[in-house]
Structure 1
Amino acid sequence: MKKRVFAALSCLLAISMVLTACGGVKTGAGGGTGGVDKNQELNMTITAEPASLDPSISPDTVSFRVLNNINEGLFRMNKDNKPEEAIASRVEVSADKKTYTFTLRDAKWSDGKPVTAKDFEYSWKRTLNPKTGSEYSFILFPIKNAKAYNEGKVDADQVGVKAVDDKTLKVELEEPSPYFQGLTTFTVYGPQRKDIVEKYGKKYATEPDKMVTNGPFDLVEWKHEQSLKLKKSDTYWDRGAVKLETANMNIVKDISTGVNLYTSEQTDMTQLNAELADAFKKSPDFTPVTVSESQFIVFNLKNEFLSNSKIRKAISYAIDREALAKLMKDGSKPALALVPPTITGNDNEPFRKKATHGHLFNPREAKRLLKEGMKEEGFTEKPKLTLLSFDDYRKQASVFIQEQLKTNLGLDIQVDPQPRKQKIDREDNSEFELNYTAWNGDYNDPMTFLDLFLDSGVFSTGHWDNKKYKDLVEKAKGNPDFKERTQQLVKSEGILLDDAAIAPVIYGGKAYLQKPYVKEIVRHPIGADMTLKWAYLDGKDK
């Protein structure tokens, strides 16, 4: 297999050097001139099996990608990455910005039954029900009493979501939220049918015939750990906008295998890793993608050595982020802070323009801080530490960090790569010392990163506890003065970095190979990363 990949690489690179001397193209560029192809069947690779297609419990990027194309919520992200009306035909917001009234359009499920406001109310309350065990229940917390219900403090009927009638959904918020409308584009905010969920129980959404959907495509085939097949929906309200007839998602975990399929014309699109991104960067098919991913190290403060903020800061200062970003070769950028530059504030200005505080590469200062921190904690020798890591293309970053900490601080670090499920289990149970992890923004607001370190946040398992930080973030959540709110978020990120709760590493990037006849695939830097609704093929038939 490796020989076949190398041969295909050499051939394509030779052709690309003849055809072009410039870099990659943007999504949808190039293609035929003879009109849209008659055969609208897209072949693509995905890097993993979806963990779950149950909207209440789906936890991962691949699941979100599939759900975004087979389901639809009140709003969806459009081609300009702005929320636009979807199942909701309009929305009215009260003067105090705390009550949203959504009017639903005539829309149907894949079995022909109407989508109703009750489907949204049921879905959201099911996600919030503590018995469901949703990892993403927190994303519904802006809704009145949502958090209290999730914590078992109030009943479901006290949650601020109510189906007034089949076409009207009323939502009350705890406090005004500048990003709530954008939240409704996220897959967790989609509708679910109570009768279907109850009919199949634990088997709900585990097979195409054990679910109903309401999006641009229907899931018609799911060969677990092999592939998924999506077909254009006959019942989707806006099916006239959908040109693709079929999208085949083949599960290819090895990036080199995906590239081999691409160069042998067996797939129209595949993801690249650092090594292959560098090899293909001059190909006209090279497609870099902007994402809102922050990759960073979480420290477990239950570890005595890491309980010292100077030692944590020393580890952060010892990492050359510029060199790592160049090594990744996928569009990644050095990260000096938590929130990526793609995230904007309330005024649509990049948050990073206001929040400039960050960690710099400074080996000399790192050595000084390590020495002082060890003295304060009574350490005369440096302990061995384990770095929990991804087992995918991001493992390369963990190995780089391992080398940096050995070279610049003399620390002995063991990299411990784990498959996704095992890694999440280890994180959830605080079974790590250093954890190299990542987060992609769910919505366009700094809060999607800053609330991760609250008591109920995903990364609270590092046991970092700072009352001032928590108070600022909680106040920002409900602050109707959006200018003051931005400053609260700026200050809270500063506290996180000053105390070195994390070591920011890089802002992730992605790169794909995509055939020039593939048009209008819309990629989103936040939330679900890809929409196929407007995609089509033009020139593949030639």
Structure 2
Amino acid sequence: MVQSIRITCYLVISSLLFACCTASSESDLAQKRAKRKRWYSIALEREPGTLDPRFASSLEEITICSLLNEGLYRVGKDGRPEPGIAESSELSEDACTYTFHLRESFWSNGDPLTAGDFERTWRQNLTPKFPAAMGQLLYVITNAEAVKKGQLDPSQLAVEALDPKTLRVRLHHPCPYFTELLTQPAFFPVHASQQEGVEDLITNGPFVLTRWRTNYELALTRNYRYWDTAHIQLDSVYLRLVLSDPVTAQGMMDTKTMSWIGSPLSTLVDESIPSFLDKGLVKADPAAATEFIRANTTRPVLDNAKFRRALSYAIDRQPLVEHIIPGGHRVAERFVPPQLSTNAMLPSEDAKTMLKEALTELGYSDTKQLPVLELVYSDCPRRHKIAQFLQDSWRSKLGVTVKLQRLEPKVHLQRQKALDYDLSIGSWFADVPDASNFLEIFQSAACPSNRCGWEDAVYALTLERAARELDPAQRKHLLMKAENILLEQQPIIPLFHNALLHVDNEEVGGVVITDTGRLELRHAHWN
């Protein structure tokens, strides 16, 4: 009897426990499902080299820093700048002096954010020996370039915190895209205690870093101290490393463990793009970007403009974008992308005729006398296909022999900077949506992004005039004149304007991808 009672009690208790556990499990599952509706996972092909906005330069670094931080302005729902930490601003009659009035906001550790944080960070970025990655973006500020070069005392920089909530900035000429610049990490404030690194990272944006597992994942969670946190609908953002294996990322997309794969932070498998496009799964957003060839104008033969133009005229760009790298890329008829166009046009002449004129100027009677040129490029499948296409085009149409050299991305960049190459495939994504951001790369051979050794006095002067011009129509005319000089001289050979190809979770709306290739999640929401 006692044993029977014990068994009965055991069964009753077990049943109750089972019921409780089942209810608990169902509740946990419901909570997990509810929480699942508030996270977003992005495929990341490369780990960021830094999470410090002062050193951010790559698309992944800029995107992640923008999730963790905010400047005076931020990217709005329409991809255009809107007030961020700056609640309001005033602009002087000469369009050169901005006075920003800051809203009440806090760092992720609870410290108040002040105008002094902006002033201190900008001054640090412009310290001569400080290795700010994009410090040149601040050169629109009066005396900024001279301070960076050590020609003026840092006290001469025209940035001043008038009080904890007021920042005054003086530009050396009107800048129609200044608010776009203010959305860039180079203009973000950095906490006074912050050193380079991720330990105890103190930020002020919509999310905070909670975990960084090397070669696996960066986990971000909602920052409840962010001034606009009431409008942030994602609780977590995961950036998951696929380590140059987009097939894995696509598998994760199929199993609903990935929300976004493809540009700007990873690559879709080239072979899968046509079928995805046919099914309407891939989205192609036109980027303010251009894929192009740098010609090292300090090298023999390539120092001849007609020879460079012959190389350009021999390239049939239409089959390149249709068959070699399909996916919505647009043939480049100019260097500046269409959405920022100056209306300049790439000259079109007979490649063989131009080559013949070049050979005469160079003192050669035949292409067999030309040195074998080398085309270098970053080691990735798409670039290799482009390089093979170019090699075949130049051999078949001009009889010019070019050998190919794949390089690790860091080595490729080093050789560009050292002018240790003949021809090099590269690209430029706009920092801000303005034609000058493309053209000023080649204003001087000393510009860090020039990397082809070319400069032209008339070109540089024309850009200087455009920078000071207040009339929009006249400014555009000057920029067109400058681009025509660039296209006539062809130190660079435009190939195509990039498209940002991606597949995303259509249940989530409000994700913004800008013309400059930045992914913004402030306005993301589940439909």
TM-score (norm 1): 0.86
Q: What residue number does 1:449 align with?
A: 438
CA distance in 1 between partners of 2:120 and 2:484 (Å): 39
After superposition, residues 457-468 of structure 1 pair within 5 angstroms as: 457-468=447-458
- What's the offset of the Cα at 1:375? 2.3
Q: Does 1:426 align with 2:415?
A: yes
CA distance in 1 between partners of 2:158 and 2:410 (Å): 33
Q: Does 1:394 align with 2:383?
A: yes
CA distance in 1 between partners of 2:392 and 2:526 (Å): 45
Q: What residue number does 2:47 align with?
A: 49
Superimposed CA distance per residue, residues 283-302 of structure 1 (whole angstroms, 9 cap, x where no aligned partner): 34322222111111111111
Native 8 Å contact 1:315 1:366 kept in 2? yes
Match of 2:345 among 354, 357, 382: 357
> For the pair shown, which has the larger CA radius of gyration, 1 or 2?
2
Match of 1:507 among 494, 497, 514: 497
Aligned residue identity for 2:253 = Y
Q: Does 1:328 align with 2:325?
A: yes
CA distance in 2 between partners of 1:110 and 1:502 (Å): 45
Q: Summarize the Cα distance change of 1:437–1:38 in structure 2 as closer, same or farther, 3 Å threshold.
A: closer
After superposition, residues 250-399 of structure 1 pair within 5 angstroms as: 250-252=240-242, 253-271=244-262, 272-326=268-322, 327-343=324-340, 351-352=341-342, 355-360=343-348, 365-379=350-364, 380=366, 381-392=369-380, 393-399=382-388
CA distance in 2 between partners of 1:191 and 1:266 (Å): 34
CA distance in 2 between partners of 1:285 and 1:460 (Å): 37
1:342 is paired with a residue whose SS is: helix
2:37 is paired with a residue whose SS is: coil
CA distance in 2 between partners of 1:468 and 1:254 (Å): 46
- What's the offset of the Cα at 1:470? 0.4
Q: What residue number does 1:437 align with?
A: 426
Aligned residue identity for 2:401 = D
Q: What residue number does 2:165 align with?
A: 167
CA distance in 1 between partners of 2:236 and 2:442 (Å): 41
- What's the offset of the Cα at 1:210? 4.1
Q: 477-486 or 116-125: which moved more? A: 477-486
Q: Summarize the Cα distance change of 1:103–1:36 in structure 2 as closer, same or farther, 3 Å threshold.
A: farther
CA distance in 2 between partners of 1:147 and 1:501 (Å): 26
CA distance in 1 between partners of 2:34 and 2:499 (Å): 31
Native 8 Å contact 2:139 2:145 kept in 1? yes
- What's the offset of the Cα at 1:342? 1.7
Superimposed CA distance per residue, residues 97-131 of structure 1 (whole angstroms, 9 cap, x where no aligned partner): 11000011011111111111111111112222221
After superposition, residues 61-100 of structure 1 pair within 5 angstroms as: 61-100=59-98
Q: Summarize the Cα distance change of 1:102–1:316 in structure 2 as closer, same or farther, 3 Å threshold.
A: same
- What's the offset of the Cα at 1:37? 6.8
Q: Summarize the Cα distance change of 1:273–1:145 in structure 2 as closer, same or farther, 3 Å threshold.
A: farther
CA distance in 1 between partners of 2:224 and 2:315 (Å): 53
Q: Summarize the Cα distance change of 1:356–1:473 in structure 2 as closer, same or farther, 3 Å threshold.
A: closer
CA distance in 2 between partners of 1:396 and 1:213 (Å): 41
Equivalent pairs, count: 483
CA distance in 1 between partners of 2:378 and 2:90 (Å): 43
Native 8 Å contact 1:215 1:233 kept in 2? yes
Aligned residue identity for 2:105 = A
- What's the offset of the Cα at 1:457? 2.6
Match of 2:114 among 116, 126, 150: 116
Aligned residue identity for 1:341 = P
Q: What residue number does 1:26 align with?
A: none
Runs of at least 5 residues in structure 2 that lack an aligned partner in the other structure = 1-32, 263-267
2:52 is paired with a residue whose SS is: coil
Q: What residue number does 2:22 align with?
A: none
After superposition, residues 15-26 of structure 1 pair within 5 angstroms as: none
- What's the offset of the Cα at 1:478? 1.8
Aligned residue identity for 2:224 = D
- What's the offset of the Cα at 1:335? 0.2
Percent of matched pairs sharing the same residue: 30
Native 8 Å contact 1:40 1:246 kept in 2? yes
Runs of at least 5 residues in structure 1 that lack an aligned partner in the other structure = 1-34, 198-203, 344-350
Native 8 Å contact 1:386 1:434 kept in 2? yes
Q: Does 1:196 align with 2:198?
A: no
Superimposed CA distance per residue, residues 431-455 of structure 1 (whole angstroms, 9 cap, x where no aligned partner): 2211111011111211110100122
Match of 1:185 among 172, 183, 186: 183
Q: 449-458 or 415-424: which moved more? A: 415-424
CA distance in 2 between partners of 1:524 and 1:419 (Å): 28
- What's the offset of the Cα at 1:45? 0.2
Native 8 Å contact 2:277 2:327 kept in 1? no
- What's the offset of the Cα at 1:84? 0.4
CA distance in 1 between partners of 2:290 and 2:128 (Å): 29
CA distance in 2 between partners of 1:93 and 1:118 (Å): 20
2:190 is paired with a residue whose SS is: coil
Native 8 Å contact 2:191 2:203 kept in 1? no
Native 8 Å contact 1:69 1:216 kept in 2? yes
CA distance in 1 between partners of 2:435 and 2:269 (Å): 28
Match of 2:520 among 520, 531, 538: 531
Native 8 Å contact 1:176 1:478 kept in 2? yes
Q: What residue number does 1:15 align with?
A: none
Native 8 Å contact 2:377 2:407 kept in 1? yes
Native 8 Å contact 2:344 2:483 kept in 1? no
Native 8 Å contact 1:285 1:516 kept in 2? no
Native 8 Å contact 1:287 1:511 kept in 2? yes
2:375 is paired with a residue whose SS is: strand
- What's the offset of the Cα at 1:357? 1.8
Alpha-carbon RMSD across the aligned residues, in angstroms, is 1.8
After superposition, residues 115-154 of structure 1 pair within 5 angstroms as: 115-154=113-152
